Structure 1
Amino acid sequence: MNTNPPTPAEVKILANVPVTRVLALGRWTDAALPEKRGAVMPFEARETMALMLAGKIDQWFARSDGEGAVFLMNVTDPAEAHALLEALPLGQAGMMTFELIPIGPLWPLGLLGRDG
């Protein structure tokens, strides 16, 4: 087991991890007035379920602060995630916007395979 800290070159190589998912942090917009959401939500739920069944959404959550939804998406390109989310009823109605965060394996795990 190597107990030496990684060299700068190792850190640069290890930190270049592949994108394996996109984390989508949803937030209601000003257009998402509570009295308008109810009419859209049955369609949103149906279309979101269709994305899950198609393998594009792996997990979904409600934000505990009530500000929207969080999706763990099975896509590697934020542009694809954006297109899928904008096509949902809340996206089409301009009621929800998403911060998209490309994610991948923890790069420090690569240190476990270092020699010597």
Structure 2
Amino acid sequence: MNTEPPSLEAMKALSRVPVTRILALGRWTEKATPAARTPVMPFEARETMALQLAGKIDQWFARSDGEGAVFLMNLTDPAEAHALLEALPLGQAGMMVFELIPIGPLWPLGLLLRD
């Protein structure tokens, strides 16, 4: 087992994480009053489920602060994720916006695989 600390070059190489998923953090906009979003939600739920069945969304969650939704998406391109989320009913109505975070494997684990 190699007990030497990794070189700076090795650390830089390992830190280049391949994007394997997109974490989408949604939040309500000012337009998304309870009265405005209630009639849209059945359509939103159906279209979100269609994205899950198509393999685009792996998991979906409600934010515990009540401020929106969180999706773990099986995508690598933030532009594709943005287009899909904007096409959902809440996106079309301007009631939800998303912060998109490309994510991948935890690179420091690669340090354990060094010879």
Q: Tell me if both proteins adopt one fold, taking TM over 0.5 as the criterion.
A: yes
Superposed displacement of residue 5, structure 1:
2.0
Structure 2: how far apart are the matches of 1:2 and 1:93? 56
Quote the residue 1:103 is aligned against: 103
Quote the residue 1:41 is aligned against: 41
Superposed displacement of residue 109, structure 1:
1.2
Structure 2 residue matching 1:58: 3-state secondary structure:
strand
Superposed displacement of residue 43, structure 1:
0.2
* Superposition TM-score, scaled by structure 2 size: 0.98
Structure 1 residue matching 2:39: 3-state secondary structure:
helix
Superposed displacement of residue 14, structure 1:
0.2
Structure 2 residue matching 1:30: 3-state secondary structure:
coil
Pair 1:53 & 2:42 matched? no
Q: Deviations over 1:54-98 (max 9, x none)?
A: 000000000000000000000000000000000000000000000
Quote the residue 1:31 is aligned against: 31
Structure 1: how far apart are the matches of 2:3 and 2:60? 39
Quote the residue 1:5 is aligned against: 5
Quote the residue 1:67 is aligned against: 67
Quote the residue 1:91 is aligned against: 91
> What is the aligned residue count?
115
Q: Deviations over 1:5-32 (max 9, x none)?
A: 2211001100001100000000000010
Structure 2: how far apart are the matches of 1:4 and 1:91? 51
Query: What CA RMSD, in Å, does the superposition of the two structures yield over aligned residues?
Result: 0.6
* Percent identity for Structure 1 against Structure 2: 82
Structure 2: how far apart are the matches of 1:56 and 1:84? 9
Tell me, which stretches of 5 or more residues in structure 1 are unaligned? Answer: none
Stretches of 4+ aligned residues off by more than 6 angstroms: none
* Superposition TM-score, scaled by structure 1 size: 0.97
Partner amino acid for 1:66?
Answer: G
